[in-house]
Amino acid sequence: MTKEQITNAHWPPETEIPNGDDPTVCPYCSFPLPDDEQLVLHVGLRHYGECTEEEKEAFRDAYVEEEKALNRFRIIALGGLVLLYFGFLIIYALLAG
Ligand SMILES: [Zn+2]
């Protein structure tokens, strides 16, 4: 199985648009997306070979921003886990001692 077959195995995913919602639609495959940022990421990931240079540049910028947000989330999540661990450890030490 090639990478392309794996990538397209579940494409397009099942989507349901709430009544009254006006989704942003991909100009290449008509897939509905919730906002412009998601559209930029979708075009860059699904249609990189056929999109324009401006779309590629927007995708690279959005990708970098997404990566920064993910790194911030990972650091905050790790900090939360460390606090939770030591919090339970201190509570255990107080109750057991
Ligand atoms: Zn598309």
Rounded to whole angstroms, how far apart are CA atoms 65 and 96?
46
Three-state helix/strand/coil letters over 58-95: HHHHHHHHHHHHHHHHHHHHHHHHHHHHHHHHHHHHHH
Question: pTM surpassing 0.85?
Answer: no
| 46 CA from centroid of ligand 1 (Å) | 6
User: Consecutive sets of 10 residues in the chain, 97 residues long: mean pLDDT of each?
Assistant: 67 84 92 93 95 96 96 98 98 93
Q: Are 47 and 41 in contact (CB under 8 A)?
A: no
CA 32 – ligand 1 centroid, Å: 8
Q: How far is the CA of 57 from the centre of ligand 1 (A)?
A: 17
Other CB atoms within a 10 A radius of the CB of residue 41 amount to: 17
Q: How far apart are the C-alpha atoms of 71 and 77, rounded to whole Å?
A: 10
